Structure 1
């Protein structure tokens, strides 16, 4: 299997998902503009065309994009910090005195960062829990981090830990944390705006047919979009997991280590019911979407099923 080709294919899928969100956002904005300020009696599509070509300024559409940019800016500054909140962890600082085990973890992160040509080494954290898992956050020297659990370090071999770390460095390399945060903002803005305008227009009617059609479509979308945006977001998340698995193989040159690590992590999850209960807190749910492993078997899962991931890694 050509893992570089796998990354290329999944990148195309990612672009398709992001473009879908942008198109949905534009449509919602234009429908809201027409609902409040219809431009003609010709029809809904004609009014959309007038707004798209800026024959008239689509104020609401531009306002939605402005709110989105503000949200993206805030998330870019503080979003990665949520990943460690609500957990017990310690940072491994390379310049400090580290134990042999801690130094080994730092060395592996440094090695994988060099292999990936990141140009910097992400910060390294150990989360104190028996759960076998790991995650990455950030996308630059200022905010990138790799966190692994103490349970994972104690139960995997060195080559398996290295494969897991390579997977997480792959997430940073591909900008997955940035992408999922941005898409999350897009989804929330879309749903919030649709809900607000549906409530505003629910009991009102206009003399203009285009405005009434736009309001009716917004009402329908208010029920449909929560499902559509969630499915798109989760599809994106699963796609990025496949990419990170492929990156792990590319960086380590070994698919067997990643296969073995996923099998052990999956088996460990199945015998510890308390892991599932831990995911009830908000911060843990937020973090669970970034973990290297989470149960996945449907379009509403953040991760692909372990069976599908292993098939991809084996080239089946």
Structure 2
């Protein structure tokens, strides 16, 4: 669920920071231009050149992250990819069958890769650079904790993410956010570097670029997370269309029941429970949540 977006955002920040660090090193220690600091009147910054640079870096980082998303998910979560033509257990075969059945119902021309990863958390996620090269993975904790109808609802929800093209849409939004992040972090770094002695400006600017880019990336994630919460409602509706509203609602209620039991047993600090909870935080923390509150999702689904 939240894993899909977490992998993407972390990879995006790492890729973007790497690109900017390499470029900053090149422009700092060679004769190649690229500081965008003209030293002229006013801001003394070549805003046009900086805007083009920011656009190229921003969307490059976003699309590289998208291309790496499926590979990163497999490695980080140690996903066991299931071969439909291979020897599978009854549980594995059932997962493959569900993913393929819902994918065909959603009109997908290419079946997603299907995987299971060992974890106590009750979780599933979909990722990949395109509908043709997607991955739907579920945790062993989910399979062992939920009944068949609830599992179907969860898998239908993840297939809906693939069918809706949510990863590509998220990539385009992240590219726009990245562009602003690179643009304003460079401006801020240039202005800060002018506050120190000339012999210190190069190193201060280099450090400030990295610091401001990471800071602005975190702030920019508020926009991405808000869009993610909106897409979760859309995926719930898609899951209801594929598996039936009753099964989709049952899946959400099953997640909520796990949270309630964990809360009653005072296990809310358990990492697996935090994953089930999806989002129960309020205030500022809610701005950085990739998923809406489960009760709100259930209510919206029942209002259809």
Report the CA distance shift for 1:234/1:73 in structure 2 as closer, same or farther (over 3 A): closer
2:80 to 90, 96, 113: 90
Who is 2:227 aligned against?
236
Please name the residue that 1:294 is paired with: 278
Q: 2:120 is matched with which residue: 110, 123, 130?
A: 130
C-alpha RMSD of the superposition = 3.5
Q: CA deviation at 1:159?
A: 2.0
- The count of residues paired between Structure 1 and Structure 2 equals 246
* Contact in 1 for aligned 2:115/2:137 (Cα 8 Å): yes
Unaligned runs of 5+ in 2: 1-34, 196-211
C-alpha spacing 1:84/1:186, structure 2 compared with 1 (3 Å): farther
Seen in structure 2, the aligned counterparts of structure 1 residues 277 and 132 have a Cα distance that, compared at 3 Å, is closer
Aligned in 2, Cα 1:278/1:132: closer, same or farther, shift over 3 Å?
Answer: closer
User: Which of 231, 236, 240 lines up with 1:249 in the alignment?
Assistant: 240
In the TM superposition, residue 296 of structure 1 has moved relative to its aligned partner by 4.2
**Distance in 1 between residues matched to 2:181 and 2:164, nearest whole Å:** 27
Question: Are residue 119 (structure 1) and residue 109 (structure 2) matched?
Answer: yes
Distance change >3 Å, CA 296–CA 178, structure 1 → 2: farther
Given candidates 284, 291, 294, the residue that maps to 1:303 is 291
Task: State the match for 1:153 in structure 2.
Answer: 143
Contact 1:122 1:144 (8 Å CA) reproduced: yes
1:168 Cα deviation (Å)?
A: 0.2
Partner of 1:64: 54
| Paired residue secondary structure (1:84) | helix
Q: For 1:249 and 1:144, how far apart are their aligned partners in 2? A: 21
Q: Residue 278 of structure 1: CA displacement? A: 9.4
1:102 equivalent among 92, 115, 119 = 92
CA distance in 2, matches of 1:62, 1:226: 19
Structure 1: where are the runs of 5+ without partners? 1-32, 45-50, 52-56, 206-221, 280-287
2:302 is equivalent to residue 314 of structure 1: yes
Q: Distance in 1 between matches of 2:175 and 2:56?
A: 12
What TM-score comes out, normalization by structure 1 length? Answer: 0.66
Answer 1 or 2: higher relative contact order, Cα 8 Å, separation at least 6: 1
